[in-house]
Amino acid sequence: MDKKTIIKKFAVYGRNIHPLAVEVLIKNVDHHNLDSLIAHICKTTSSFVISREEVERAIKSFKTAPTTNDVKNVDDKPKQVVRSQENVSVKDVTGRSTCEGGIEDFLAYFNSRFEKLSALVRRRIGGVRISSLPKFKNEQVEVVGMVKDVRDYGEFAVFDLEDKTGVVSVFAGEKLKELALELLGDEVVGVIGVYRNGRIYADRIIFPDIPMRERAKKDFGIVFISDTHFGSKEFLEKEWEVFTKWLSGEVGNEKVVDLASKIKYVVIAGDIVDGVGVYPGLENDLTITDIYGQYQYAAEQLDKIPKDVKVILSVGNHDAIRQAEPQPALPKEIRDLFSNNVIHVGNPAHVDLDGLKVLIYHGRSLDDVITKIPRLSYEKPHEAMIELLKRRHLCPIYGGKTPIAPEREDWLVIDEVPDVLHCGHVHTYGVGFYRGVLVVNSSTWQAQTEFQKKMNLNPMPCNVAVYYNGEVGRLRFCK
């Protein structure tokens, strides 16, 4: 066990460690227990730089911590339900929604959002309560709060930061101004700066962000697609036919046929059908006007996928489910139309595929994020998705184009860092890696509609992202 290894292990959690603390670990900790202890330290301390004293305290508490047998009967009811099917486990809101839309629900929702995100930020900085700032006049302070009301005042960008004890104005000048103007309402950040004249002059803005991690490498293939829009006049049926034949190994050169043989999962990020009444004039774009008939057709088309390939089917804003996020999986009467190799999940859904952690989110909030941050565009949707990872939230803006249900727990916080973040919605294609996480926006199977022409939206249909062994390739099924 060497110093570099220990430093790298803490870096995974976004932390640094003091050299004296490293020496304490080397002298007192068996290498078999090192990973568990580091996880314990990072969970129980908020310092950005772990000190020797913190390590010593953690070692003592770690040795005396209760075992699983000691605590297994404390609370028999799990806080979150994880559904399993063979090598697939799912965590989503299906069967867990409790909101009724009362004021208590909204208060609980924002409290959950703040607590979850502030805990993530505090892994990177300490932070004092805003109400206690007057004690630190003309001193450097660290504060964590929810962003409110960002303004451009020429020389400075100014925003309000709020915690449970108060509100303070933050002035961001010079290099920080551009970053501050990209802040989204209702996200939680940390600020390091000098408290003077009742305000903070910021030196740094700290996002919750995700830690660096190695790319996940699994010896099987996954196809990522989205926005099939079955039932639309613009559904590209011929191209879909070629796609399903490729999955069956019937078309393509030797290389792509060999790749098809490795595919174990097809993951679909919502908007399975074109829906009914989603926007004015949609009925003019439909070949199947009955929503149940659209899902029957969808089931027929997905039935062309080989039965040894599992299909993970999420939902979006065109599907027959509530519009507010998080969305549960499709209702049983619709799920029963599909074959047994189709696994239905909500939106968002944390899905474990043979150890590969995939976060599926339809991506409706990308409209809000792309509108808010001028440098982002629909042509590069993965760049907007990276902003969601930085903010550790799938829908940072509350009250925008994306309706959010006031669940008592905020299911849209990215608690667990995935290996893959998969979105759709925008009908364009983009792939990238951010801190070891594969980011995929997987296009559509619908050509441009009249509504999209009016909105100046130019889709990039029939682009398929294929994951295999830590890498991702692109297959085009359109001419």
CA angle 299, 300, 303 (to 5 degrees): 85
Q: What tens digit of pLDDT does each residue of 73-105 get?
A: 323 333 344 544 668 999 999 999 988 889 999
Confidence of residue 50 (pLDDT cuts 50, 70, 90): confident
Give the CATH architecture of domain 3-65: Orthogonal Bundle (1.10)
pLDDT in tens, 231-252: 999 999 999 999 999 999 999 9
Summarize pLDDT for 137-176 with one digit per residue, the tens: 999 999 999 999 999 998 999 999 999 999 999 999 988 9
Q: Give Cα separations from 226 to 24, 137, 229, 424, 426 (angstroms).
A: 50, 53, 9, 5, 10
The CATH 3.60.21.50 portion of the chain extends over: 221-476
How many Å apart are CA 138 and CA 354, to the nearest integer? 54
Q: What is the DSSP letter of 120?
A: H
Q: Specify the domain boundaries for CATH 1.10.8.60 within the chain.
A: 3-65
User: What is the pLDDT of the chain when averaged over all its residues?
Assistant: 90
Peptide bond into 381 cis (omega under 30): no
For the chain, give every residue range classified as CATH 2.40.50.140: 130-206
Question: Which position has the higher pLDDT, 34 or 441?
Answer: 441
- CA 170 – CA 380 distance, rounded (Å): 31
Mean pLDDT value across residues 318-329: 95
Token pair 């997987």 in the structure block, residue: 442
Question: What does the angle CA 104 – CA 108 – CA 112 come to, to the nearest 5 degrees?
Answer: 175
Predicted local distance difference test score (pLDDT) of residue 79: 39
- Taking alpha carbons only, the member of 198, 124, 120 closest to residue 161 is 198
195: number of Cβ within 10 Å:
21
Q: Indicate if the pLDDT at residue 1 is higher than 70.
A: no
Task: Kindly give the pairing relationship between strand 420-423 and strand 356-360.
Answer: parallel
Q: Tokens at residue 40, please?
A: 């314990």
Task: Identify the CATH assignment for 130-206 out of 3.30.200.20, 2.20.25.650, 1.10.630.10, 2.40.50.140.
Answer: 2.40.50.140
Q: What is the pLDDT of residue 9?
A: 72
CATH number of the structural domain 221-476:
3.60.21.50
Would you say residue 260 has pLDDT above 90?
yes
Query: Is pTM beyond 0.85 here?
Result: no
What is the per-residue pLDDT for 435? 96
Cβ 274 vs Cβ 452: under 8 Å:
no
**pLDDT, tens digit (0-9, with 9 covering 90-100), for 134-143:** 999 999 999 9
**Beta-ladder partners of 437:** 434
- Would you state the pLDDT for residue 48? 67
Mean pLDDT of 356-383: 96
Among 226, 267, 263, 223, smallest CA distance to 429 is for 226
Q: Return the top range by mean pLDDT from 273-287, 446-460, 464-478.
A: 464-478
Tell me what the mean pLDDT of segment 279-289 comes to: 89
| DSSP assignments along 195-220, one per residue | EETTEEEEEEEE-------PPP--SS
> Among 182, 229, 174, 249, which residue's Cα sits nearest to residue 397?
182
